Amino acid sequence: MGHYYRPLRVRVRRKDTMNPISETIVGEHIINDRRLLVELATWPDGGRSYHLIDAETKVTLTALSAYDSYPSEQQMTEEVEKYNDHARELTRQERRERQLKIDAMRALAELAAEIEELTARDVSFDTLISRVRGLATCHRLTAIGSAGADAGFDPKRHQMICGNAEPGTAVVIHRPGYTWRHADEEIVLSKALVGAKQPAAS
C-alpha cells in the first residue's frame, strides 16, 4: 500500500508545447520491495499525466508512456515487473559481452605465448605458421587464403591494398584474413589484404 503527502518536489518550466509546465511528486508506494514515486505533470494545454519514478535510481519507468489518472497498484506492479525484466536482460547482455572480451583476450594471450615459445626454440617459419593456425582453429577461426596465394577478388572477404577491383578479378593475397564461426553464422573478423596480380613475365 502507498501513502500520500504534500509534494516533495515541484518543477516549474517555461510554457512551450513540448514540455510540461510543472512536475510534482504526489505519492509514494512500495511495490515488490521497490520504492516508487508518482509524479504529476501538468501540460500547457491543461492536460495532466502521471509517471512512475524509481526513488533509488531516479529512472522514469513510464518514460515512453503515461497514465491519465493516478495509477492503480496493479498498474504499478506491472510497470515494476517490466522494469525488472528489462534490467535482468541488460545484466545478461553485459555478462555475455564481458565473457566475449575475456575469450578474445585469452586467445590473444595464448597466441602471444605460443609465438614467444616457438621463437625461443628457433623453429622453422613453416612450423610457426602451422602452430599459429592450429591455435586459431581451436578458437573457430578460419584463415581467408594464405600469403602469396592467388584468389578471385571477393569484396566481402578481401581488401585491396590500393584502388578497387571488380569481383572475380585475379588478385594475390599479401596478408590472410580470418573468419569466425558462431553457431550457424560466419563472421568476417578481418578481410584478407590483397593486391592486383601482375602478369607473368614473357
More confident residue, 3 or 31: 31
d(C-alpha 64, C-alpha 200), whole Å: 66
pLDDT for position 122: 85
Bridge partner list, 188: 179
Residue 37, pLDDT above cutoff 90: yes
Round the average pLDDT of the chain to a whole number and report it: 85
Give the whole-angstrom CA distance, residue 48 versus residue 192: 60
pLDDT of res. 2: 45
A 10 A CB-CB count for 98 gives 10
- Tens digits of residue pLDDT in 132-174: 888 888 888 899 999 999 999 999 999 999 999 999 999 999 9
Task: Provide the pLDDT for residue 5.
Answer: 40
Cell numbers given for 137:
582453429
Q: Are 132 and 111 in contact (CB under 8 A)?
A: yes
Question: Please, what are the domains in the chain?
Answer: 2-71 (no CATH), 72-139 (no CATH), 140-197 (2.30.22)
Which of the pair, 192 or 20, is modelled with greater confidence? 192
Task: Report d(CA 146, CA 157) in Å as an integer.
Answer: 13
Residue 12, pLDDT > 80, answer no
What is the pLDDT averaged over residues 27-48? 91
* pLDDT attached to residue 134: 86
Question: If DSSP codes are grouped into helix, strand and coil, which group holds residue 59?
Answer: coil
Determine how β-strand 192-196 pairs with β-strand 158-160. Answer: parallel
**Percent share of the chain, pLDDT over 90:** 45
Instruction: Supply the pLDDT for residue 201.
Output: 62
Q: What is the pLDDT of residues 62-119, one digit of tens each?
A: 766 788 999 999 999 999 999 899 889 989 999 988 988 888 888 888 888 888 888 8
Q: With 0.95 as the threshold, say if the pTM is over it.
A: no
